[in-house]
């Protein structure tokens, strides 16, 4: 099978960033420019076609060694994207763990180092938005900027290895380590997102709290109350996150011991969805708390536009003594009332 002959160059990463597309999307554009059309039914994307073009096998018994990326300068241009992909795959590990996308309603990409999110001010109560007289005025909803800018943080890990070590490593084995590195980065980002959800983004907008009916004990009635209270404000609870102790307490409640739910848990390992809410486990969830939110209105993820996880120039030039894999991002509250915290003790 023939693959598109595209001249690969390190500058492609910067060009993709300027155009606001991924490296793979940029390659696909170049394919179209040279008149290449993927065969009908092809399962490969533009990046994977370039891997195949250079004979680089990334999984299975015949997986290549890392040195296959360095057979020519052009083939080495593909290695940073391989690293990016594996790290991003690690973001999805952990079947029942809290993930960044669980928290986020929308994502904004910016070129600046600081960001000020929007604030909504409603005049009057929602039920006052009714018909008014001929010369009357409807109550207003005003959008303004928040007083304080949100913090953008660099989440990352350092990868320390010499080229001599990596060149003799199988690509699929390196992928395992990169995915686990991505998992650690994802946990750090989710931890910060949860912190913002609970305590606010620096604009006096923490999540409201509600106390347990019997302090020190998590009861079914408390969860029902948590579930209903947020709906009274017009939000639909989509997620709960708890630590291991509270997860055990919820999963063993008599009210949640549904035979079908229990069968699915035993068959797939996917935790039950109490009251239709997705239950997430997170080691960094606050102790003796159940945090609830409506994903559609909770947080805005703000990230650096077109940012690569890895310094492509260092990877291409084999400067492996210390490679930093990082992602610049922050979180802004959209509606503070779209989250609740049940305080058990």
Q: How confident is the model at residue 259 (pLDDT cuts 50, 70, 90)?
A: low
Q: What ranges do the domains of the chain cover?
A: 194-301+336-343
pLDDT at 322: 73
What predicted TM-score, i.e. pTM, was given to this entire model?
Answer: 0.87
Query: Distance (Å, rounded) from C-alpha 12 to C-alpha 27?
Result: 9
Q: What is the pLDDT of residues 194-237, one digit of tens each?
A: 999 999 999 999 999 999 999 999 999 999 999 999 999 899 99
194-301+336-343: CATH number: 3.30.2320.10
Q: Which residues contact 81 (CB under 8 A, 6 or more apart)?
A: 23, 24, 47
Query: Distance (Å, rounded) from C-alpha 72 to C-alpha 222?
Result: 63
Neighbouring CB atoms inside 10 A of 189's CB total 22
Q: What is the pLDDT of residues 126-138, one digit of tens each?
A: 555 556 566 567 7
Q: Give the chain's length.
A: 345
pLDDT at 220: 93
126 touches 234 (CB < 8 A): yes
Which burial class, exposed, middle or buried, applies to 213 when counting CB atoms under 10 A from its CB (0-12, 13-18, 19+)?
Answer: exposed
Neighbouring CB atoms inside 10 A of 45's CB total 15
Neighbouring CB atoms inside 10 A of 94's CB total 16
């Amino acid at each position: 099978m023939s693959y598109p002959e595209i001249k690969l160059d390190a500058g492609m990463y910067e060009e993709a960033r300027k155009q606001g597309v991924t490296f793979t999307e940029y390659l696909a554009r170049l394919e179209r420019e040279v008149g290449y059309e993927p065969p009908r039914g092809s399962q490969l994307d533009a990046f994977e076609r370039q891997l195949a073009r250079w004979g680089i096998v990334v999984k299975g018994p015949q997986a290549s060694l890392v040195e296959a990326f360095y057979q020519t300068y052009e083939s080495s241009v593909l290695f940073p994207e391989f690293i990016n992909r594996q790290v991003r795959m690690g973001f999805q590990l952990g079947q029942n763990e809290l993930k960044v996308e669980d928290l986020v309603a929308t994502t904004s990409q910016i070129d600046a180092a600081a960001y000020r999110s929007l604030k909504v001010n409603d005049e009057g109560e929602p039920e006052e938005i009714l018909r008014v007289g001929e010369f009357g005025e409807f109550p207003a909803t005003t959008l303004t900027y928040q007083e304080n800018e949100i913090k953008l943080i660099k989440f990352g890990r350092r990868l320390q290895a010499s080229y001599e070590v990596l060149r003799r490593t199988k690509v699929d084995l390196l992928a395992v380590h990169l995915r686990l590195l991505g998992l650690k980065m994802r946990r750090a980002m989710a931890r910060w997102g949860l912190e913002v959800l609970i305590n606010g983004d620096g604009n006096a907008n923490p999540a409201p709290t509600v106390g347990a009916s019997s302090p020190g004990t998590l009861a079914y009635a408390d969860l029902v109350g948590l579930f209903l209270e947020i709906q009274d404000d017009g939000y639909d609870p989509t997620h709960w996150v708890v630590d291991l102790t509270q997860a055990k307490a919820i999963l063993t409640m008599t009210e949640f011991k549904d035979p079908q739910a229990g069968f699915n848990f035993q068959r797939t390992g996917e935790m039950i969805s109490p009251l239709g809410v997705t239950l997430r486990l997170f080691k960094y969830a606050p102790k003796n708390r159940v945090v609830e939110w409506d994903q559609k209105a909770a947080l805005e993820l703000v990230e650096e536009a077109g940012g690569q996880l890895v310094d492509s120039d260092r990877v291409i030039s084999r400067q492996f003594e210390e490679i930093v894999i990082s992602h610049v991002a922050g979180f802004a509250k959209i509606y503070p009332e779209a989250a609740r915290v049940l305080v058990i003790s």
